[in-house]
Chain A
Amino acid sequence: MTHLLGIEPVDKATILAILDRADAIHDSASAALGARPRDVLAGRTVVNLFMEPSTRTRTSFEIAAKRLHADVANVSESFSSSKKGETLLDTARNIDAMRPAVIVLRHGSSGSPAMVAAHVRASVVNAGDGTHEHPTQALLDCGTIRRHKKRVEGLTVAIIGDILHSRVARSNLHALGKLGATVRVAGPRSLLPRGIEAMGALVYDRIEPALEGADVVMVLRLQHERMTGGYVPSLRDYSRFFGVNAKNVRAAKHDAIVMHPGPINRGVELTSDVADGPRSVILDQVAYGVSVRMAVLEHAVAST
């Protein structure tokens, strides 16, 4: 039983092993659609415990588990007992009492997967916790980069947008750092957290120099509530000065790829021509995400 609580505690060899396995799954799945690479989860249960709204990640985990022949139960916030005042720990212990092999947890509070992991028998896979980590997103991002660029080491990756509230940025800083890439983060100072340099980031408060010569442009979603929080004055001002568009993306390398963890606010952080353009690998990320999650679920139950 192995938890995946974040990328920070995972070493480079493990990351590469998961990505290699995901590649193998992905290639066999492409060759023979629906091929089921391994049945380690057959007859076992995966519970997707999603305490925050999510379509992409929950569906991706569900498909991944089903392709591994697991039985899948989905518990989402609107149906869960949290509405009745049950604590997360009680919800998790109750689910655990039904003996799932894996609990996939999405939660709005940073550190909640670690708390749950300390109190359950199942393997806990973090599907995004607060503003802490989103490890499977970073794995699928690294895998997607590797498939397009044939390597990660030595590349320059520019992460653009709301770094402060982004678990995707944090997990990618850990993962890309371990794999030897240079990571730049860029956005308005109000969305750049204090001390992000300590995580290995090069920090920019304008996006043009951050994009300059980049191999990978990773654009983050700007949530609408950031306006009410006073972090940025308006979507208009943000998109004009911090949005990625066909003009400013030309500063990146000619063969640079553009990524986005979704969902996209078209015309805010990313214009449609770039999102749908030749540099975009956004749908590749989504496709590869299923393979990565299959590899992660296998890894989670590997030694059970």
Chain B
Amino acid sequence: MTAIHIRGGRLLDPRQGTDDELDVIVQDGRVARIGKGLDTPTGALVCDARGKIVAPGFVDLHAHLREPGEEGKETIETGSNAAASGGFTTLCAMPNTHPPNDCRAITMLIRTRAREIGGVRVLPIGAITRGLAGEQLADFGELKEAGVVALSDDGKCVMNARLMRRALEYGRTFDLPIVQHAEDHDLSAGGSMNEGAVATRAGIPAQPAEAEEIIVARDLILVEMTGARYHVAHASTARTIALVRDAKARGLPVTCEVTPHHLTLTEAACATYDTSTKMYPPLRTQADVDALAAGLADGTIDAIATDHAPHSKNVKQVEFDCAAFGVIGLETALPIALDLARRGVLSLRDAIERLTWGPARTFKIHGGTMPEGSVADVVVIDPETEWVVTAEDILSKGKNTPFLGKKMRGRAVLTLAGGAVLCDRLDVTRAATPLAPPSRARGLS
């Protein structure tokens, strides 16, 4: 593997407390050296990172890669390409595949496929219940052995309080966080968007914010009872943030994530019946968006997670109430985070932290920081470059995003996973090896 000298960039590694103009030398898949004005090793590629930000590769706690079973929507390979294009080097893959990842065989399949592809790191999340049916616990011990980093029935809520209690209790032995898709299905039944004035005017069947909050409140009581690690997936309401903030203040082992779209869009976007604005949880109100931003800034929210949910056109180009829930997110998360920093919602350091060390520590996984000697998961960011989101440019198979046609500012220009170049918008590799770009950079400009 060719060595790479990332020269003159602003290295931002929140975990290490680093924010300085520093060179990074990547060699043999690791961060070999960090320092000022380093010499380029013989034969190394040089990345001129002046004016750019160098950060640990991003970690996404919440991605739907659709493989096995729904390869028409996404595969581990296309999801990996989309991730690298967006600056992500680690993806936690949700288990709602077909069949679902509720056993060792599926976990191993996902890990093996990811290894064969050689893209970003894919860390499977196991199911809480067998078949995601909400009736019987999956084999947590075996799943942990096979390599899952968390447990979730995402897409469905663990509605049964008794079962949720058992999951928290049993999961504790294996130190696996229980990741809840917090939605009281009775209260939310039939709801395609957030309940309120916009839904009432549009006549769209709606679900109240309380459907999420009631489950979070219940679960936090169960966390207090069991002492187990609990993570709120895609928190979307002001009260959810208030509940988590309070639980954290009381020392409970609770974490939570927010999606880029819930940080930027409101229910108003649904008024035109654009099905790319239909996702779970639904887009909420401006007050909720503001509370999420405040929660992200004060650390109540540990991570920005994409909930990348690719869908094919034929389940989106239908009536709003019939359309599939979900939006893609891997390729637009970074500019949205940078925009929050530019608007002063939080510091640039914290914005990067919520994409790196925040998620890594939440699931206790490797990465999210890049000290000397660590595996070289590195992203070089051009914070100022402007680009427009187009269907042709999106590497995910899913084009379902409300940001289509929107102008973005800031983008990953070089993504390294384990030292391998997965995204190269600087032509670092082409400049040095005119014969052929490395196979892993295919499809990327």
The interface of chain A, by Cβ under 8 A from chain B, is: 8, 87-89, 107, 109-112, 114-115, 129-133, 167, 170, 193-196, 198-199
Contact = CB atoms under 8 A, between A and B. Distances in A.
Interface in B206-242: 206, 208
B200 A199 contact: yes
Nearest to A134: B203
Contact of A88 (B203, B204, B272, B319): B319
* Residue from A8, A111, A131, A170 whose CB has the most chain B CB atoms within 10 Å: A111
B134 interface: no
Contact of A110 (B195, B197, B204, B317): B204
A52 B203 CA distance: 16
Contacts of A109: 319-322
Given A110-B273, A131-B205, A194 B200 contact: yes
B200 A198 contact: yes
A166 to B, nearest CB: 9
Interface residues of B, number: 22
A230 to B, nearest CB: 10
B200 A130 contact: no
B272 A114 contact: yes
B341 interface: no
A60 B143 CA distance: 63
A194 B320 contact: no
B405 interface: no
B197 A195 contact: yes
Given A111-B320, A115-B320, A131-B205, 13 more contacts: A87-B318, A88-B319, A89-B318, A109-B320, A110-B205, A110-B320, A110-B321, A114-B273, A130-B203, A193-B200, A194-B199, A195-B196, A195-B197
A110 B318 contact: no
B196 A194 contact: yes
Contacts of A196: 197, 200
B203 A167 contact: yes
Contacts of A131: 203-205
Contacts of B317: 87, 89
B386 to A, nearest CB: 29
Contacts of A199: 197, 200-201
Interface of B: 195-206, 208, 272-273, 314, 317-322
Nearest to A192: B200
Given A114-B273, A129-B203, A133-B203, A194 B197 contact: yes
B273 A194 contact: no
A133 B271 CA distance: 13
A140 B321 CA distance: 28
Contacts of B206: 194
Given A115-B273, A194-B195, A194-B196, A170 B318 contact: no
A194 B267 CA distance: 14
B186 to A, nearest CB: 10
Nearest to A163: B200
A199 B196 CA distance: 12
Nearest to A167: B203
B202 A110 contact: yes
Contacts of B208: 194
Contacts of A114: 272-273
Contacts of A133: 203
A114 B319 CA distance: 10
30 contacts: A8-B201, A107-B319, A109-B320, A109-B321, A109-B322, A110-B202, A110-B203, A110-B204, A110-B321, A111-B203, A112-B319, A115-B273, A115-B320, A129-B203, A130-B204, A130-B205, A131-B203, A131-B204, A131-B205, A133-B203, A167-B203, A170-B200, A193-B199, A193-B200, A194-B195, A194-B196, A195-B200, A196-B197, A198-B197, A199-B197
Nearest to A111: B273
A107 B199 CA distance: 18
Contacts of B319: 88, 107, 109, 111-112, 115
A170 B200 CA distance: 9
Contacts of A167: 203
Which of B198, B205, B208 has most chain A Cβ within 10 Å? B205
Nearest to A174: B201
Contacts of B200: 170, 193-196, 198-199
B196 A170 contact: no
Contacts of B320: 109-111, 115
A170 B272 CA distance: 16
A274 B148 CA distance: 67
Nearest to A119: B317
A198 B268 CA distance: 14
A8 B205 CA distance: 18
Contacts of B273: 110-111, 114-115
B270 to A, nearest CB: 9
Nearest to B272: A114
A284 to B, nearest CB: 27
Contacts of B199: 193-195
A87 B202 contact: no
A129 to B, nearest CB: 7
B197 A130 contact: no
Contacts of B318: 87-89
Nearest to B205: A131
A3 to B, nearest CB: 14
A95 to B, nearest CB: 16
Contacts of B204: 110-111, 130-132
Nearest to B208: A194
B314 A87 contact: yes
Given A110-B203, A110-B273, A170-B201, A130 B196 contact: no
Nearest to B321: A109
A110 B272 CA distance: 10
Nearest to B322: A109
- Which of B195, B196, B319, B320 is most buried by chain A, counting CB atoms within 10 A of its CB? B319
B201 A198 contact: yes
B93 to A, nearest CB: 30
